[in-house]
């Protein structure tokens, strides 16, 4: 055997142990899971429907959140500490640390409510909406609603005024249609009175109505979690928390 063949054979022999299968198999061990259940309530003890209970990528949202009675179920890894977060549009989220066990019952109470808007209608109905989801809007024909956090207003001196919804204390109807050329030279415009949280009170005109657009105020109803849409024609007052 030549020297070159001896060297090549030695190198191959030396390399074999590095790549040879030692016969051992590495089997991935699945993390055991457990299911926990409970009820989410508000600070008055009433069940909260539609709240989401989650831990990392595990979420009750797959089951559309809590039911009408506030009940939830959530399957998570067991035997180790996890962070559990409870979220609902009407409340500040709550996060707790726990080590879940099989068939554990864990109830939660959401105590810090987010700000609200109360819409009082001309027929004396009252609807409490979530401020965060509430919007000033107008309808676009064959499209949808254009929605804004700021109101597009005009003052009596003709100057533009676009306060954020959080700056309002009240918008007081009735919402009347009048001619006022400093704010709308093309025809009638909707007017109402507003009270700001700064204490300022004034009459304003809604610029979108200058084009004849239907004015809307919308938001998620606190009691149901569903969106409600209210025409300005039907609103007597909008009160902001």
Consecutive sets of 10 residues in the chain, 241 residues long: mean pLDDT of each?
43 44 55 88 90 79 73 88 91 91 89 95 96 93 85 97 97 95 95 97 96 93 90 97 90
Tell me, what's the pLDDT at 177? Answer: 95
Please tell me the predicted confidence (pLDDT) of residue 14: 47
Q: Which CATH superfamily is domain 33-110 in?
A: Carboxypeptidase-like, regulatory domain (2.60.40.1120)
- Looking only at the bridges linking them, the beta strands covering 71-77 and 33-42 are antiparallel
Supply the pLDDT for residue 3: 39
Residue that has been written with the tokens 């003709």 in this structure: 158
What is the spatial distance between Cα 95 and Cα 84, in angstroms, rounded to a whole number? Answer: 6
Domain boundaries, the chain: 33-110, 116-240
pLDDT the model gives residue 144: 79
Which residue in this structure is represented by tokens 């979108």? 208
Q: Indicate the pTM of the whole model.
A: 0.75
* Residues 111 and 46: beta-carbon distance below 8 Å: no
CB 98 within 8 A of CB 82: yes
């Amino acid at each position: 055997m030549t020297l070159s063949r001896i060297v090549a054979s030695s190198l191959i022999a030396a390399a074999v142990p590095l790549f040879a299968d030692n016969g051992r198999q590495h089997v991935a061990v699945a993390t055991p899971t457990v299911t926990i259940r409970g009820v989410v309530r508000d600070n008055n003890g009433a069940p909260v429907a539609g709240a989401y209970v989650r831990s990392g990528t595990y979420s009750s949202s797959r089951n559309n959140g809590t039911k009408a009675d506030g009940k939830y179920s959530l399957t998570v890894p067991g035997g180790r500490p996890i962070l559990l977060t409870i979220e609902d549009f009407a409340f500040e989220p709550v996060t707790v640390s726990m080590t879940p066990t099989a068939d554990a019952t864990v109830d939660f109470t959401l105590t810090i409510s987010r700000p609200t808007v109360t819409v009082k209608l001309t027929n004396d109905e009252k609807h409490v909406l979530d401020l965060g989801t509430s919007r000033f809007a107008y309808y676009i024909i064959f499209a949808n609603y254009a929605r804004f956090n700021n109101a597009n207003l005009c003052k009596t001196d003709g100057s533009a005024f676009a306060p954020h919804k959080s700056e309002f204390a009240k918008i007081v109807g009735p919402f009347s249609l009048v001619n006022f050329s400093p704010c709308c030279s093309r025809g009638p415009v909707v007017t109402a009175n507003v009270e700001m949280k700064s204490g300022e009170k004034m009459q304003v005109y809604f610029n979108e109505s200058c084009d004849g657009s239907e004015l809307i105020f919308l938001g998620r109803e606190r009691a149901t979690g569903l969106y409600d849409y209210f025409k300005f024609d039907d609103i007597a007052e909008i009160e902001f928390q």
